[in-house]
Structures are given as C-alpha cells and as structure tokens.
Amino acid sequence: MARASCKAGHRRVVTRTQPQRGSTVAPTMRDIALATGVSQSTVSRVLSGTPTAVPIAEATRQRVTETAERLGYRPNPLARGLRGASTMLLGVIVRDVTDPFFAGAIEAASLEANRRGYNVVLGHAHQSADEAVALWGILEARHCDALLFLGDLRDRPELIEDLKDTSIPVVALWHGSRESGIPTVSVDNRAGMASVVDHLARMGHQRIAFAGPKRLGDITEREDAYLQSLARHRLARRPEYLVDAANDFAGGVEALDVLMDLSRPPTAIVAPTDVLAIGMLHAAQRRGLRVPTDVSISGFDDIPVAAVSVPALTTVRMPTQAMVVAALDLVIGPDAAVTDSHPVLQPELVIRASTGPVPTHPAEGA
C-alpha cells in the first residue's frame, strides 16, 4: 500500500504547501498517486484512458479513479497540450460576430464542438482581415486542434498561403470559393439563388433587382447566380438593378431607397442576405410601400429574425448545422484524414409573406 513513498515523491510533498483542502489548489496527478500509493505515471495511464501499451490491473484502475474522483481532480490542459497531446480546443475565427447569421453559426459550431468534447476559442476579426491574420497566429500558438474560418478570407491571399502549410487542420465555411486550396464546406449558392428567382419569375416578376456588397464571401456567388438566373428566364439585365450595398441593416435601407428612386423601379428585390432584406423591409415601410403588394423582397440565410419580420421574409434556408457538422467531421471528426474534400450542401427555399405576385400598377418611387 504505502510502499510507494519514493524519495522524489516525498520531497515533493514537503515542498508543496501542504496537501490543501483541494478546493483552492487543484490536485495534480502526483497528489492522486501519493494518495493511492501508485506512481504518477500509472495515474496518467489510468485517467487518460488511452489504450496503453502496458497493462494495468483492474483493481488499480478502480482505486486511482476513485481517488481522483474524491480529490476532485481535473486534468491540466496546459500541461497536456505542452506534451503535444490534443488540447481539445477548436479555434473559430469570424469576421463579424454581430452579423446575426454568423452568431448563429458560432452557436452551431460551439454546440457541435461541445458535443464532441471540444471547447471553442473565439477569434474575432472585427471585419478587418489584418486582425484575422493576427488571430490565426494566436490560435495556432494556442495549439488548437483545428481551426474554423467563418466567412471570407480571399482578400488576404497570404493568409491562405500560410494556412495551407500549417500543421493543424483548417476548414473554411462560407468562404465564397472552393478554389483557394484550403478545405471548405459550402452551400450551393447557385441553386439557392436560382430557386428564389424562379419563385419570383413564376409570379410574373420581370424587373428583379439585386443589392449586395461586391466580392464578399458567398455573396459573390449569389450575385453571379442571380445574373445567370435572369438569363435563364430571358429577363433583361439592367445595370441599374445591380446596386452595391454594405452587408448590414443600414445597407439594406439605402439600397432600397436607391432602387425605388429609379424612374422604373423593380417589382422585386433579391437580397443576398437576410440582414440586407430586413433593412429593405424597413425602408419600404418608411417610404409607404407595402410588401409584397408594391414590391417583393427576398433574403438569404434564414436567420431567426427572418421568421418574425414584418412581413415574414421569404428566404433561402442555410443548412448551418449540417455545414458545421461537415466541417468538424473534416477537421476533428472521423473523416479527419480526408482533407481535400469540399462538401457542398443544399439550401432550401422558404416562402413566407414578403414575396407575392407582380403588382398590376407598379408603384413609382416614393
């Protein structure tokens, strides 16, 4: 029993300021070893539970586990990580937390990571790619087991280069392109956008506008898909129906005003994100336009608030959870080895109340 009072161990106990009541100072493996009468390495082998090369008696296992429980032992991730082991940390870098869509994505990622025993270290880039670069360094240094990028990175080519030969697995979601050489999980923007335009065209709309930021993540693909859908329906592509707008509520407000101030305003506006669309809903009401009687507005993403906007927003539901699951499968999941696959998931059109038949007497501006 107490025969394991080896010299080194004993000296240690003297060094430490008493075994403590365990509440203030976290017990270490050594404490457990001492209390159980085994060596610290045995404790490590038992508690880590890894299929060890050396055998451990069941009775010993029992005693160790019991003592650990009693002392309230919790492993020190720092020491564990130092030795090169997994830190069970998932780094998530996002360009903008306040974007409700990304907030939802973080939620999903955090949920899924926790389910797999991982914790999430959140890196917030505040819309600035420079900060994203810095964060990458930080998170890599923190020995995250994997890195999740949410949103667009392409304006930062050198970051992508670095990412490619980093030691930890990286995956990008809503990155806007599968060409960049890093693993991505994406949504079929083309199909999603096509379903919206089809829906509007079926209701007779011919003057369909689009407003969104240029060259930002998936939005670029959505714009392209919008143009292609117009062509498919043999609808004229009018330059004034393609306006630039910041991807926030205010951007939507401005874009709607610009579009409806045209001498021939569109009868429907396709927004590449719900955030923009909700801004448009607001702007429409403010200038006395009824949605969808006077103008139809559609979004993309299906963020929670889209279901309760006034009127409820027709949008394209993003398979966020499935995408996150796929992403985690790629980097920490069972298929972690398959690093060059690029899953593309399908979105789903959700028809609510913000789109309707083309107005018989199209409303003129204001």
Chain positions contacting a copy of itself, by CB under 8 A: 23-26, 74-79, 81-82, 87, 92, 97-98, 100, 103-104, 106-107, 110-111, 114, 119-124, 126, 131, 137-143, 165, 167, 248-250, 252-253, 278-279, 281-282, 285, 304-305, 307-312
Residues in the chain: 366
Distance (Å, whole) CA 58 – CA 75: 21
If one asks whether residue 80 binds DNA (CB under 7 A), the answer comes out as yes
Single residue of 1, 2, 14, 15 touching DNA by CB under 7 A = 15
3-state DSSP assignment of residue 299: coil
Tell me the backbone φ, ψ of residue 269, rounded to 5 degrees.
-125, 130
> What DSSP string describes 160-177?
HHHHHT-SS-EEEES-S-
Residue 59, contacted partner among DNA, a copy of itself, none, CB below 5-8 A by kind = DNA
C-beta closer to a copy of itself: residue 22 or 362: 22
CA-closest candidate to residue 177, choices 196, 153, 161: 153
C-beta closer to a copy of itself: residue 120 or 197: 120
Distance (Å, whole) CA 18 – CA 296: 73
Single residue of 1, 2, 18, 40 touching DNA by CB under 7 A = 40
* DSSP annotation of 328: H
Tell me the backbone φ, ψ of residue 119, rounded to 5 degrees.
-105, 160
Q: Which stretch binds DNA (CB under 7 A): 55-63, 177-185, 275-283, 325-333?
A: 55-63
Distance (Å, whole) CA 270 – CA 79: 52
Residue 114, contacted partner among a copy of itself, DNA, none, CB below 5-8 A by kind = a copy of itself
167-179 b/e (C-beta count within 10 Å ≥ 16 → b): eebbbbbbbbbbe
If one asks whether residue 1 binds DNA (CB under 7 A), the answer comes out as no
If one asks whether residue 35 binds DNA (CB under 7 A), the answer comes out as no
Single residue of 10, 66, 72, 82 touching DNA by CB under 7 A = 82
Residue 257, contacted partner among DNA, a copy of itself, none, CB below 5-8 A by kind = none
Q: Centre a 10 Å sphere on the Cβ of residue 56 and count the other Cβ atoms it contains.
A: 13
C-beta closer to a copy of itself: residue 52 or 114: 114
Minimum Å gap between C-beta 244 and a copy of itself is 19
Q: Which two tokens stand for residue 362?
A: 């199209």
C-beta closer to a copy of itself: residue 221 or 302: 302
Which contiguous run of DSSP H or E holds residue 240?
A: none
Minimum Å gap between C-beta 21 and a copy of itself is 9
Distance (Å, whole) CA 177 – CA 216: 10
Minimum Å gap between C-beta 79 and DNA is 3
CA-closest candidate to residue 123, choices 146, 158, 87, 91: 91
C-beta closer to a copy of itself: residue 50 or 127: 127
If one asks whether residue 119 binds DNA (CB under 7 A), the answer comes out as no
Residue 121, contacted partner among a copy of itself, DNA, none, CB below 5-8 A by kind = a copy of itself
The sign one gets for the Cα dihedral 105, 186, 134, 137 is positive
Single residue of 16, 287, 317, 352 touching DNA by CB under 7 A = 16
Do 94 and 151 contact (CB within 8 A), yes or no?
Answer: yes
If one asks whether residue 190 binds DNA (CB under 7 A), the answer comes out as no
C-beta closer to a copy of itself: residue 53 or 78: 78
Which residue type sits at 364?
Answer: E
For binding to DNA (CB under 7 A), which residues are involved?
4, 6, 8-9, 12, 15-16, 28-30, 37-42, 44-45, 47-48, 50, 53-57, 59-60, 73, 75-76, 78-80, 82-85
